[in-house]
Amino acid sequence: MDYQLEQLINGPAGHLPLFDTAMVALAAWSEPVFIMVVAGWFLIGLLSGRRAERDAALVALLAAAVALIANQILGHVWDRPRPFAAHPAQVHLLLPHAADSSFPSDHAAAAFAIAMVLTAAHRRLGVLLLLVAALVAFARVYVGDHYPTDVLVGTAVGVAAGMALLRFAWPGAVMARVIAAILVLLRLQPRATDERSRPSS
């Protein structure tokens, strides 16, 4: 059933030049685009002094990291060949990829984890990013890199990671300490000792 769905989605690949270009762009460039979204979100919060925005961006980053770690565990449980490796004569490969485990999709997991956190902070922007994440998941199947269940499970992992971080880490005392430690390490805010060493006015 999964292979049949993959063939239904991937079948037109290579025959629709404009659509092919759009799908390849979505499949190939989603990772840097989502990284830029988080980085831009963090910088806006940092430069504007909006702590909530800065912290939420870090939560989105951590949610993506949790999703990717979960994917690695699942990938070791089921080392599934990619469609183009399992069915080289039938799959139209538009985007070359290493023949590593296909299950689950890292792109879908990270994208949906970030989008879930953004939805909690900015509903309209988050919904828009969820739609983009869904298009990315479809594109990964269209270009021949994944089966539908790869992206569906990746989506579920991403949504679960985003919801878990929102539930248990934001806002919360544990996450506040983690974020403060990260910022100190990055030297984006003065250390407590630096504050005490300043002369009083």
| Whole-number Å distance between alpha carbons of 10 and 146 | 10
Q: How confident is the model at residue 178 (pLDDT cuts 50, 70, 90)?
A: low
Of 91, 94, 99, 105, the residue nearest 137 (C-alpha): 105
| pLDDT the model gives residue 193 | 43
| Whole-number Å distance between alpha carbons of 129 and 118 | 8
Enter the CATH code of domain 2-197.
1.10.606.20
* pLDDT digits 0-9 by tens, 24-83: 999 999 889 999 999 999 999 888 888 888 888 989 999 999 999 999 999 888 888 888
Exposure of 4 in the CB half-sphere (CA atoms within 13 A): 1
Domain edges within the chain: 2-197
* pLDDT digits 0-9 by tens, 38-47: 999 999 988 8
How deeply is 49 buried, as exposed, middle or buried, from its count of CB atoms within 10 A (0-12, 13-18, 19+)? Answer: exposed
What DSSP designation does 95 have? S
Residue bearing tokens 């830029």: 36
* pLDDT of 198 above 80: no
| pLDDT the model gives residue 176 | 60
The predicted model gives 172-193 an average pLDDT of 57
The tokens describing 22, both together, are: 């759009």
Predicted model pTM: 0.82
Looking at the chain, the whole-number percentage of residues with pLDDT higher than 70 is 84
| Whole-number Å distance between alpha carbons of 106 and 153 | 10
| pLDDT the model gives residue 195 | 44
The predicted model gives 84-110 an average pLDDT of 87
